[in-house]
A and B are shown apart, each in its own frame.
Chain A
Amino acid sequence: MMKVVRGFYAVAYSVKLCRPDVICAYPITPQSEIVENIAQMYANGELGNCEYITAESEFGAASILVGASAAGARTYTATCSQGLILMSEVLWNAAGMRLPIVLTIANRSLSAPLSIWNDHQDSMAMRDAGIIQMYVENNQEVHDMMPQAFKIAENHKVLLPMMVCMDGYKLTHAYEPVDLLSQELVDEFLPPYDPPVKMTTKEPYTFGSYATPASYMEFRVAVYNAMERARKVIEDVYKEWAEISGRDWGGNIVAENCEDADVCVMAMGSLVGLVREVVKELRDEGKKVGFIKIRTFRPFPADEIAKAVDNAEKVIVFERSLSMGSDAPVTLDVKSAIHKKAIDVYSPVVGLGGRDVPQNLVKSIIEEVMENKVEPGTYFRGLKDYEEVIV
């Protein structure tokens, strides 16, 4: 059923169709409307036997879901920014305990300075936790992703938390037409959660043991291996979704016009639509430029990217976050993926804290690379002239 809805509703409605057992969250702009919509569904008795809990903090919310997931429940939360960082101790723990908690991240910048607007610094800070991360470009994609996220996370070969990242405000609050899923379709696609082990008095297991140096490493390698296995599981689930829903969002990356491209441009999240459009425009002008949408960020689709840029001389990675003291996060992974190839990598950092990224800026960023007007490396675009005062 096609309907014009806002992003937060597209998420909440899809989560409902996934029949979670325990939902627990704490409000933070611009995620709040996701849980507020879920709260309304709960108040209306539309969530079946689901327990919806308002926690005392994001730290508490994540902790509640650790207990619920360990006891065998399908679990969901949404957060971003300060809330995600506050959850981080627990989320690392959840990944280590192999608890497939699903989260929607309404991507927002990190303080200081405080900002409620969008970039990717929050989810990037969780990069190494053992959480699967994927980024959506619009609200239909996030709507479609929620059932897929549960299916991926809960796969016995995986059993890891998963974050579906959507740009705060840009998507969460945008009105877009969304083909709302039916309960029948989601039920057919997503079986109930059936954990291999759970907390039960019938068979008492110990969860969260402490490990001496004689056993710790194997546990961490097991998380690493699960993330590696997730690559294939994700691809399979994406394919299955395309078949069952009729909407094919592609694999871990979507490469367009890269075969003969001299310059391949990469983006993630809501910037994808704009960058894709500009690349098409440049193509129409006869420029040999290709486009890559990165969907899955963890596990990082290194092989797919290496293959896609095989014929390129230059790669541009639009970055929405930073790593202080190093290359920005996506760039680091891209560089590592193509390290054997003689390809220059350009990392324009744009749109931090919701700074506008207009179409002409995207175009000029690509053009200056094509015209050799800029050196490879990290640089900032859309930055005002200002003087940093060192006192």
Chain B
Amino acid sequence: MSENMRLFGSGHGACPGCGLPIAVKSVLEATGPCFVANSTGCLEIISSQYGKSAWGVPYIHSVFENAAAVAAGIEAALKALGRKDEGPVVVFAGDGATADIGIGCLSGMFDRGHDVLYVCLDNEAYQNTGNQQSGLTPPGSSTTTTPAGKVLPGKVKAKKDMPAIALAHKARYVATASVAFPRDITRKVKRALEFEGPKYIQIHSVCVTGWGIDGKQAIPVARLAVETALYPLIEFEDGQLVRVRKIKDRKPVEEYLKPQRRFRHLFKHPKGKEVIAELQRVADENAKKFGLDA
């Protein structure tokens, strides 16, 4: 068995095509034995059922919104007990757990400077509970709490800029990644662990169920998010942008939106054009801001 299969086994119950197991395995590949604190959400439910745990590392799930604080406590205990050499402390938390309900705990963990790697698994909504919108749901997405209707074109507000929030806290290492590029995830985690203090990696993770795509399209769709510059892959070290994933022939955002049921209404909704134009503007701005075009 490969190392990451031993640390996160095949016993999980994710939907076929789900990005979460790819993300977790790619992270554990880099960390090796480590301490995991997980928030309530899809990953927790697919991996931690009593008697069927998929985890080969010490794992704890407390509640929805406190994984950052729980991890901080583990780190403090390891320090006090002289056991820091046992392995790094890693958080796996959903976008809802991170950007909405748990942002206070996350801010506290950053602010106090705990030696913790925080991994946000960004599937762009509360997927565990049925695709309700989160702060990281992109505009135009039809979720069960921001459904497309006769008047509204799905979610109206922008995607919260969590990497910027992490940077504002002076997190030592901040990066985005995508399940379309697993080796890149592993490399980034390795790099992150070279920094002592808080580290934040946000991984774009496909949700076949909530996004309304076929399992086979999962990775191509995730790749399109990067290739349209809607999900820029960027890397900051001590506040400085150090690396980006360049895009050769940047694709129009429609190519990313079309295969997904959550965006399908945009192509016939009266406000659809406006929303697509806004998403294209966001992509263009990302490309410019981070110098993505090769």
Contact = CB atoms under 8 A, between A and B. Distances in A.
Partners in one complex: yes
Interface of A: 21-22, 24, 49-51, 53-57, 59-61, 63-73, 75, 89-90, 93, 97, 199-202, 204-212, 215, 219
B59 A21 contact: no
Interface of B: 33-35, 37, 44-45, 48-51, 53, 55-63, 65-66, 69-83, 86-87, 104-105, 107-108, 111-112
Nearest to B65: A59
A323 B64 CA distance: 29
Given A59-B66, A67-B77, A208 B58 contact: no
Contacts of B78: 71
B76 A70 contact: no
Given A71-B73, A201-B34, A209-B50, 12 more contacts: A49-B80, A51-B76, A53-B73, A55-B108, A59-B104, A66-B69, A73-B73, A75-B73, A90-B63, A93-B63, A199-B58, A215-B50
Contacts of B60: 66-67, 70, 199, 206-208
A58 to B, nearest CB: 11
B104 A204 contact: no
A72 B78 CA distance: 8
A63 B61 contact: no
Contacts of B65: 59
A340 B254 CA distance: 75
A97 B61 CA distance: 10
A54 B69 CA distance: 11
Contact of A70 (B63, B74, B80, B104): B74
Contacts of A67: 37, 60, 62, 69-77
A15 to B, nearest CB: 15
B49 A68 contact: no
A60 B58 contact: no
Name which of A59, A67, A202, A211 has the most chain B CB atoms within 10 A of its CB: A67
A384 to B, nearest CB: 40
B58 to A, nearest CB: 4
A65 B72 CA distance: 9
A200 B86 contact: yes
A73 B76 contact: yes
A205 B58 contact: yes
B34 to A, nearest CB: 7
B63 A89 contact: yes
B81 A73 contact: yes
B66 A60 contact: yes
B74 A51 contact: no
Nearest to B45: A210
A200 B86 CA distance: 7
A65 B79 CA distance: 14
A378 to B, nearest CB: 35
B87 to A, nearest CB: 5
Nearest 10 pairs of A and B residues by beta carbon: A67-B73, A56-B108, A63-B69, A63-B66, A73-B77, A67-B70, A71-B77, A68-B73, A64-B73, A208-B61
Contact of B61 (A21, A73, A207): A207
B76 A209 contact: no
A57 B65 CA distance: 13
A210 B58 contact: no
B50 A56 contact: no
A240 to B, nearest CB: 26
Contact of A68 (B56, B59, B77, B87): B77
B76 A206 contact: no
A69 B60 CA distance: 11
Nearest to B70: A67
Contacts of B73: 22, 24, 53, 63-71, 73, 75
B51 A215 contact: yes
B62 A66 contact: yes
Given A90-B62, A201-B34, A72 B44 contact: no
A71 B48 contact: no
Contacts of A71: 35, 73-74, 77-78, 81, 83
A72 B50 contact: no
Name which of B62, B73, B74, B86 has the most chain A CB atoms within 10 A of its CB: B73
Contacts of B50: 209-212, 215, 219
Contacts of B87: 201
B59 A51 contact: no
A73 B60 CA distance: 15
Nearest to B78: A71
B139 to A, nearest CB: 30
Given A199-B58, A209-B53, A64 B69 contact: yes
Nearest to A71: B77
Contacts of A65: 73
Name which of A22, A56, A59, A211 has the most chain B CB atoms within 10 A of its CB: A56
A209 B105 CA distance: 21
A65 B57 CA distance: 20
Given A63-B69, A63-B70, A63-B73, A210 B35 contact: no
Name which of A50, A75, A210 has the most chain B CB atoms within 10 A of its CB: A210
A204 B107 CA distance: 28
Nearest to B79: A51
A97 B70 CA distance: 13
A72 B72 contact: no
Nearest to A205: B58
Contacts of B59: 199, 204-207
Contacts of A66: 60, 62, 66, 69-70, 73
A53 B74 CA distance: 12
